[in-house]
């Protein structure tokens, strides 16, 4: 939480498996800066359905917008 309030941080990179452990905090963050980006780790495969950024992006566009 302290990283979210710092003025000198624009992007927070967090492995998806750790983001799952604090999903409530990741999903509650709604400000554009700092951006929270979930990245894969060596030990855990990446699951796009759990990525908070992709879930938000899906809500912005309809299938007709992408045609």
What is the DSSP code string of 25-37? HHHH---SSSEEE
Determine, yes or no, domain membership for 5: no
Determine, yes or no, domain membership for 52: yes
Determine, yes or no, domain membership for 6: no
- pLDDT beyond 90 at 10: yes
Per-residue pLDDT tens for 25-67? Answer: 888 888 889 988 888 888 887 777 777 766 666 666 666 655 6
- pLDDT beyond 90 at 5: no
Structural domains counted in the chain: 1
Determine, yes or no, domain membership for 65: no
Alpha-helical runs (H) found in 1-67: 16-21, 23-28, 52-60
Q: What is the domain range of residue 19?
A: 11-58
Determine, yes or no, domain membership for 66: no
- CATH number of the domain where residue 51 is located: 3.40.50.10580
């Amino acid at each position: 939480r302290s990283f979210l309030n710092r003025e000198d941080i624009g992007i927070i990179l967090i492995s998806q498996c750790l983001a799952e452990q604090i999903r409530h905090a990741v999903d509650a963050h709604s400000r554009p800066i700092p951006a929270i980006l979930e990245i894969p780790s060596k030990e855990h495969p990446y699951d796009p359905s759990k990525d908070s950024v992709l879930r938000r992006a899906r809500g912005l566009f309809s299938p007709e917008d992408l045609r």
